[in-house]
Structure 1
Amino acid sequence: MKTKLYVSSLIVLILSACGGYEASYSPVPDDTAIVGGTVTAKDNIISQYVVLIYDNPTKTYCTGALISKRLILTAAHCVGKGAEGLTLAFGLNPLAGQYVMKKAHKVATHDKYKKLNSTERNDIALISMKEDAPAFYRPLTLPDSKFPISKDLIFTAAGYGRISGKKTSADDTQGSGKLRHVDLTISHFSSDETQFYINQEDGKGICNGDSGGPALMRYSGKDYVVGVASAISWTVPGEVKASQKSQYIDNKDLCKDKSIYMNVIKYRQWIDDNSKKLL
């Protein structure tokens, strides 16, 4: 029996979330969140590392990770047109008013950032603040070239994003804006190792609003940020007709295929160089 071979369309979707929630998603219980993870409690050390980034002009938000008292590491597509439009909200549930607000001072975006490229994204940025982060926050450690990151390693993803990638009613926020975390496994790396990928078909992973969020690993007693959440990717099978494509996408959970992270090790020199310029 012959097997019919279909050509699929690969879609890469950046993960910033709409502040107005025009696109919203089906309900999932709060205790199975980020996608398939857990709400982060105040006594969890993860809560001391992560910040919500709100872009006022576009009313969208992302996630970032503190890497010094005045520096935040995030994705390039999260910083909008610059620092002037960015608000930094430190807290477990910022969209519910539970946060300490800081203003962005300066922004550095990778000069080779390619928004719609799936293999050479360079989707990484830094945000500086004029004043220190709140006293109860602490910076993560940056890995160097000797850090033992590899295929099949488990890390913890953290972010303020949605808990499902399936569209429902326009007023369903899908738990957006509440800090959550989940353990994920590195599936493989890009050929140049600047990116690593996650299989999210088991119902665990990142979604809209988690963009810029850290991939966390504990090593030798320290917590490291080894990755920056960049995008989810999914396919439209070749057998889906053009006239049915829109309906297929509407019925699909877009956050249950794969996701893309920037490998911080490969950007360590860029981070070091631009950190000095921002502070």
Structure 2
Amino acid sequence: MIAYRQVVRAMSIGVMGLLALGCSGTDLTAPEEGPTENVQSPIINGSPDGHDAIVGTYTGSSLCTGTIVSTKGTTGYVLTAAHCCESDSPPKQVRIGADFRAAKAYTVKSYLAHASYTGNPGSSYDFCMVSFNDGDGNMQVIPALPPELNNVKVGDTLDAVGYGRTENEPHGSSNLALKRLHVTYKVKGIGTSGLETDFDSRQGGTCEGDSGGPDLVTVGGKTYVYGVHSTVDTYDCNNTSTSGVVSKVSPWIQNFISAN
């Protein structure tokens, strides 16, 4: 395990113009379109992903990824990373769709970062829950993996999903496709706390903007969120990345859903 990591940051994106993307008809700010000739695949070595339960979260200037892990009536509950829920730049929208720019946007009701998150890169509790109303209750869901089903071990294959940038674009680039892509990878290591799992990004993985996105696992024919993207070792996303293991915070997830 590498002791210090850069956080897989929420990706800052240019802001320009207004688009009516909200279900209430309210005008919502949209990210600026980048030059199409230079657009790359957003997740390293990825391909298009079809899970509409995997969404974007937007602060008004930066993007993260998250997963709808539960619903209650017309309320959806998104699991993302705590560093995507900073108090000075909180999540304002949840966007549902394969293309972040064209996705439907819904206003965030509430959010809560895990109380044990320290704010330091590599914190083991880099988790945040976000609630929103979609208006019709037709949301797709990928549940968080419960502890009793967590048998993931080193060498197992998981599926990482996100809207983030590629390794070929400069840090902070606004020249982005912002499409939801996925890539499979093998687990390289699991931390002694059980709250971290490593994988080698050089073979394909997460980068800036994929923060909060899921690592998916299939158990008994059903798909679950095993991990939440948290950190990378380098800004070019060409080394080891880390995710937090959600089964270790299962009671906290359920408590947020019950209270909101």
Q: TM-score, normalised by structure 1?
A: 0.76
Give the deviation of 1:87 after TM superposition: 1.0
Deviation at 1:115, TM superposition (A): 2.3
Q: Deviations over 1:127-183 (max 9, x none)?
A: 011345762x41112222222211111111111000226528x765243x2111100
Q: Which residue of 2 aligns with 1:13?
A: 7
- Please state whether the residue corresponding to 2:96 is helix, strand or coil: strand
Percent pairwise identity:
21
Deviation of 1:20 after TM superposition, in Å, equals 2.2
Under a length normalisation based on structure 2, what TM-score does the superposition of the two structures give? 0.81
Residue 228 (1) aligns with residue 228 (2): yes
Q: Is 1:259 matched with 2:241? A: yes
- Mapped contact 1:115–1:121 kept (Cα < 8 A): no
Q: What's 2:111 paired with?
A: 107
Q: Match of 1:63?
A: 65
Give yes or no for contact 2:147–2:247 (8 Å, CA) kept in 1: yes
Mapped partners of 2:5, 2:258: distance in 1: 36
Q: Is the Cα–Cα contact under 8 Å of residues 182 and 205 in structure 1 kept in the other structure?
A: yes
Displaced runs of 4 or more, over 3 A = 8-11, 27-30, 82-85, 130-134
TM superposition shift of 1:269: 1.4
1:39-58 matches, within 5 Å, as 39-40=48-49, 44=50, 46=51, 48-56=52-60
Q: 1:133 to 1:139 in 2, by over 3 A?
A: farther
Change (3 A) 1:216 1:75: same
Partners of 1:84 and 1:105 within 8 A in 2:
no
Aligned position for 1:138: 140
- Measured in 2, the distance between the counterparts of 1:167 and 1:190 equals 30
1:271 partner SS: helix
Q: What does residue range 61-210 of structure 1 map to in structure 2 within 5 Å?
A: 61-69=63-71, 70-81=76-87, 86-95=92-101, 98-118=102-122, 120-131=123-134, 135=138, 137-147=139-149, 148-164=151-167, 166-167=169-170, 173-175=175-177, 177-202=178-203, 204-210=204-210
Q: Residue 89 and residue 172 in structure 1: after superposition, are their counterparts in 2 closer, same or farther (change >3 A)?
A: closer
Amino acid at match of 1:60: S
Q: Structure 1: which 5+ runs fail to align? A: 1-7, 235-252
| TM-superposed deviation, 1:13 | 2.8
Deviations 1:171-204 (A, max 9, x none): 65243x21111001111111111111111123x1
Equivalent residue for 1:38? 47
Q: Conserved in 1, the CA contact under 8 Å of 2:165 and 2:207?
A: yes
Q: Which protein has the bigger helix share?
A: 1
8 Å CA contact 2:94–2:107 kept in 1: the answer is yes
1:116 maps to amino acid: N
Question: In structure 2, how many angstroms separate the alpha carbons of the residues matched to 1:191 and 1:269?
Answer: 20
SS class of match (1:183): strand
Cα distance 1:162–1:224, how it changes in 2: closer, same or farther (>3 A)?
same
- Give the number of equivalent residue pairs: 235
Task: Answer whether contact 1:52 1:62 (CA < 8 A) is retained.
Answer: yes
Q: Following TM superposition, by how much is the alpha carbon of 1:218 offset from its aligned partner in structure 2, in angstroms?
A: 1.5
**Counterparts in 2 of 1:9 and 1:276: CA distance versus 1, 3 Å:** closer
Structure 2 regions of 5+ residues with no counterpart? 16-33
